[in-house]
Amino acid sequence: MPVATPKQYAEMLDAAQKGGYAYPAINITSLSTISGALKAFADSGSDGIIQVSTGGGKFASGLGINDEAYGAIVLAEACHRLAEKYDILVALHTDHCHPEKVESFLKPLLEASRERIAEGKGPLFQSHMFDGSVVDLDENMKISAELLKECSELDIILEVEAGCVGGEEDGHDTSGLPAEKLYTSPEEMLQVYETLAPIGRFMFAATFGNVHGAYKPGSVKLTPTILKDGQAVVIEKYGQDAEMDLVFHGGSGSDLDDIRETLGYGVIKMNIDTDTQYAFTRPIVNHVCENIEGMLKIDGEVGNKKFYDPRSYIKKGEQGLCDRLKQACDDLLSTGKSIYNK
Enzyme catalytic residues: 95
Which of 93, 116, 40 lies closest to 332, judged by CA?
A: 40
Task: Give the Å distances, CA to CA, from 107 to 12, 72, 111.
Answer: 25, 12, 6
> Which helix or strand (DSSP H or E) is residue 172 part of?
strand 172-173
SS3 letters across 115-151: HHHHCCCCCCCCEEEECCCCCCHHHHHHHHHHHHHHH
Task: Give the Å distances, CA to CA, from 206 to 35, 225, 265, 290.
Answer: 30, 11, 11, 44
In angstroms, the CA 82 to CA 68 distance is 21
In angstroms, the CA 160 to CA 144 distance is 7
Residue 294 identity: G
CA dihedral 8, 10, 15, 21 (to 10 degrees): 110
Maximum Cα interatomic distance, the chain, rounded to a whole number of Å? 76
In angstroms, the CA 232 to CA 271 distance is 24
Which of 79, 39, 27, 95 lies closest to 318, judged by CA?
A: 39
In angstroms, the CA 65 to CA 61 distance is 6
Residue 75 identity: L
